[in-house]
Structure 1
């Protein structure tokens, strides 16, 4: 987001963090914000009314309270109403921001109970499962299946096995608000890391790293970026050997395959 939308999101981020740290039920707050985001996504008229800069902020806030007051928790209504009173570059930014804030609330709540690492790892693992399992990927992307059906599939796969926060986030990923379920999960993984003031490194290796290797690599990356770095590791035989690391837009490629490719280019030249 840019301009006034980014400023509004930053202000609301502080509000959500303060609410969760102050004892609000983060899971309830997060699912409420997801619900409000879904309503605004499907009702462009309401979305435009809540973001119309020609309408007084107090009127927009009052409209949000009227629409959502009987359906969401008090904490969620407070956030949605405040969001309606702020300025947004595009009306769609409001719905997007509420989804991001929902992820933030759920992740911060999980982190408060010591489950932050678990949720991040489970999100990443489920995303990899969808990517690698053709049948599951088809089921999650099938336009003939309703959102409720896809969410029921998620619950059947994850309930009792994954943390409730993970289930809630994957259910949200299945709503179709992103290009694919895996792109939604990737976005949520990045938001989770940001919420916990960490960076995520995608590590590709030919063979699994042992615990000491992971610890050394994480320490080296954390020192390089001056922030805690969490490793998401993918075993990819095509790298042949070495390590390929992606941190945001930066790539550190120390794989055998890349060196062979470079050697081949030099020989061809």
Structure 2
């Protein structure tokens, strides 16, 4: 999110952190409520427009939320939803994205309390790569004709007993909701949120051959110097990466492969 939405999300997240301090807060229930609220709003274009309309009085939007969800979801999820609709958002979809991200944050906070946040982050990355590398799996999870329940069932059967239960829950959510992002990219986004909770950035490093530990340490130091914070490096092998590395850190791409340099040289010659 950018601009107004970025500010609104930061404010809502701060309120989220305050609400989760209560000992009686069941994080899994909060997440399920927030996902359900997002899906219910998403089912009606008119409802999305109403709750994302910056020109509509906050009191009107709050009244709509209360009439729909009060007594049907827990008090934490309801309060967070009210916090979301009170604020201004740059795009209609940002309201839905904010509610979903709060649900994801709730599950990741549970992982943190179980001392499993690092493991969940790594598993989300690996599942993202698994989907990306399998045309059959990617096609099944991106099939517009498939129902959310079917997509959720596919990923749940694949991961149950092989990954942390919170990873399974997050992966199921990642493939269940339709959005502009492909399922693999949505799970990578969830991994990036986990990395941010660990006060780290997530870097995806592709190379033709496995990198030695000393190479990874040096690369980590270089990236930490660039971004001013620790960087979690996840590696993948890609035979198309010849004689170099392709590094993705958020929206930043550092492509230092032979093929990339040849393409750049070709572009300069044509120009």
TM more than 0.5 = yes
Match of 1:135 in 2: 136
Provide closer, same or farther for how the CA distance between residues 46 and 258 of structure 1 changes in structure 2, counting only shifts above 3 A.
closer
1:190 partner SS: helix
Could you tell me which runs of 5 or more consecutive residues in structure 2 were left unpaired when the two chains were aligned: none
Q: Comparing 124-133 with 105-114, which one deviates more in the overlay?
A: 105-114
2:20 partner SS: helix
- 2:203 aligned to 192, 195, 201, which one? 201
The two structures have a TM-score, normalised by structure 2, of 0.85
* Cα distance in 2, alignment partners of residues 255 and 10 from structure 1: 36
Could you tell me which runs of 5 or more consecutive residues in structure 1 were left unpaired when the two chains were aligned: none
Once the 2 structures are TM-superposed, how far is the Cα of residue 22 of structure 1 from its aligned partner? Answer: 4.2
The runs of at least 4 aligned residues of structure 1 exceeding 6 Å deviation read 260-269
- 1:216 aligned to 203, 215, 218, which one? 218
Once the 2 structures are TM-superposed, how far is the Cα of residue 90 of structure 1 from its aligned partner? Answer: 4.1
Alignment of 1:137-152 (within 5 A): 137-152=138-153
Alignment of 1:150-229 (within 5 A): 150-174=151-175, 175-229=177-231
8 Å Cα contact 1:190-1:200 kept in structure 2? yes
Match of 1:120 in 2: 121
Alignment of 1:18-37 (within 5 A): 18-23=18-23, 24-37=25-38
* Cα distance in 1, alignment partners of residues 257 and 49 from structure 2: 50
Provide closer, same or farther for how the CA distance between residues 200 and 74 of structure 1 changes in structure 2, counting only shifts above 3 A.
same
* Cα distance in 2, alignment partners of residues 59 and 144 from structure 1: 35
Match of 1:13 in 2: 13
* Cα distance in 2, alignment partners of residues 87 and 250 from structure 1: 27
* Cα distance in 2, alignment partners of residues 257 and 51 from structure 1: 44
